């Protein structure tokens, strides 16, 4: 059984969401409770908003808005050659960098919480 997926997560993956959707859809309608029904509806809403089945199956990462700046900083360290221990990091405006990165992303609402994906 996969874990419940909710909007408290910093990072979500479409493959995990799909696994949970599949699991919830297998529950007999007579046995499914209101919480599982609500979770299923919220997850299907995310999937419908993305709409790209090929990318969905391959894996789309969703980043919680409140975590986006931290994720952007990690991206800079991991993929852009920024040295974590270098003196230049104290001059980087991580908030501005994160906001600039959002140009390449779209957002989706997950039960009142904004998540970013590309």
Q: Which residues constitute the domain of residue 28?
A: 11-117
Q: What is the pLDDT of residues 61-116, one digit of tens each?
A: 999 999 999 999 999 999 988 888 888 888 899 999 999 999 999 999 999 999 99
Domain total in the chain: 1
* Per-chain mean pLDDT for the chain: 93
Asked if the structure places residue 66 within a domain, the reply is yes
Q: Identify whether the C-beta of residue 86 lies closer than 8 Å to the C-beta of residue 79.
A: no
Asked if the structure places residue 2 within a domain, the reply is no
Which residues, in sequence order, are bridge partners of residue 34? none
Asked if the structure places residue 54 within a domain, the reply is yes
What pLDDT band is residue 6 in, cutting at 50, 70 and 90? very high
Asked if the structure places residue 84 within a domain, the reply is yes
Give the span between the Cα atoms of 62 and 10, in whole angstroms: 8
Give the span between the Cα atoms of 37 and 67, in whole angstroms: 27
Largest pairwise CA distance in the chain: 61
pLDDT at residue 1 is higher than 80? no
Asked if the structure places residue 3 within a domain, the reply is no
Asked if the structure places residue 1 within a domain, the reply is no
Instruction: Locate 43 and state its tokens.
Output: 């997850």
Instruction: Locate 69 and state its tokens.
Output: 């700046």
- CB-count burial class (<10 Å; 0-12, 13-18, 19+) for 77: middle
Find the helix packing angle between 68-79 and 94-101, rounded to 10°: 90
């Amino acid at each position: 059984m996969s874990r419940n997926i909710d909007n408290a997560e910093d990072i979500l993956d479409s493959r995990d969401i799909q696994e949970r959707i599949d699991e919830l859809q297998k529950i007999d309608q007579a046995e499914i409770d209101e919480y599982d029904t609500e979770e299923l509806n919220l997850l299907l809403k995310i999937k419908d908003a993305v709409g790209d089945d090929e990318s969905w199956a391959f894996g789309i990462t969703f980043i919680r808005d409140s975590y986006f700046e931290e994720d952007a900083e990690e991206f800079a360290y991991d993929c852009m050659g920024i040295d974590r221990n270098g003196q230049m990091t104290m001059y980087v405006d991580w908030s501005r960098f994160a906001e600039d990165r959002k140009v390449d992303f779209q957002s989706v609402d997950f039960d009142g919480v904004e998540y970013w994906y590309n």
